[in-house]
Amino acid sequence: MTGDRKAVVVAIDGPAASGKGTLSRELAARFNLAHLDTGSLYRAVAAKVLAAGQDPKDPIAAEAAARGLQSSDLQRSDLRTPETAQASSIVAGQAKVRAALLDYQRRFAARAPGGVVGAVLDGRDIGTVVCPDADVKLFVTASKETRALRRHKELVERGDKATYDEVLEAMIARDRRDSERATAPLEQADDAHLLDTSELGIEQAVAQAAAIIQRQAFSEG
């Protein structure tokens, strides 16, 4: 029965620092699913462009970085810096960059590595573009103040000196760029469940999301 079961795909989208990453990792562990943080692909493209002294707005440079992406690029130490975050949403606005990364994401979803039962992918366009037929779609959000607080804490823990106001401002700019772009903008799929984590701790958020996944993807009949 388990051997020929179709891969379960869980699509998790939402704005910056909404808690998608932590939630996705926890859910993947709970349901024995592989996890792909698709934001790390765009961050890696951006980090490579910046490290080469190129402009993230340069479509030739950005597309070349996306086409040449290696799995080792996903381990770079500069993926989570504020500079990489901003540049990632600039490269992500370019249709050719998105096209170059699409197949990898779809293949991951269709045949998750490592003998697991399926995959959780988190990002901005998973439920709308990458996996429109996902078994379960969640759109995770939180107030912008909550998200900025979480991101500020994360950056400070990494030794970054950014102030809360700088983090808030940068996050608003990035969300706007992600929501207003022409190709695969950040938006809630019609069939996605909205999960607002403003007032939820991680355990509560995981419990709510897990109940939805259990009901929708794992209940027999």
Q: Which residues bind ligand CDP (CB under 6 A)?
A: 16-17, 21, 38-39, 42-43, 85, 88-89, 92, 123-126, 174, 178
* 68: enclosing H helix or E strand: none
Q: Which is nearer to ligand CDP, 43 or 137 (CB)?
A: 43
Q: How far is the CB of 183 from ligand CDP (least distance, A)?
A: 9
DSSP secondary structure of 84-146: HHHHHHHHTT-HHHHHHHHHHHHHHHHS-SSS-SEEEEEESSIIIII-TT-SEEEEEE--HHH
What's the token pair of residue 109? 């979803």
Instruction: Give the chain's radius of gyration (CA, Å).
Output: 17
Q: Which is nearer to ligand CDP, 185 or 210 (CB)?
A: 185
Q: How far is the CB of 48 from ligand CDP (least distance, A)?
A: 14
* Torsion, CA 116, CA 128, CA 74, CA 173, rounded to 10: -140
Q: Which is nearer to ligand CDP, 104 or 218 (CB)?
A: 104
Q: How far is the CB of 16 from ligand CDP (least distance, A)?
A: 4
The conformation of residue 217, written as its DSSP 8-state character, comes to I
Q: How far is the CB of 115 from ligand CDP (least distance, A)?
A: 25
Q: Which is nearer to ligand CDP, 16 or 34 (CB)?
A: 16
**CA 125 from centroid of its chain's CA atoms:** 8
* 78: enclosing H helix or E strand: none
Q: Which is nearer to ligand CDP, 160 or 218 (CB)?
A: 160
Q: How far is the CB of 206 from ligand CDP (least distance, A)?
A: 17
Q: How far is the CB of 182 from ligand CDP (least distance, A)?
A: 12
Question: Rounded to the nearest 10 degrees, what angle do helices 59-67 and 95-110 cross at?
Answer: 20
Q: Which is nearer to ligand CDP, 16 or 27 (CB)?
A: 16
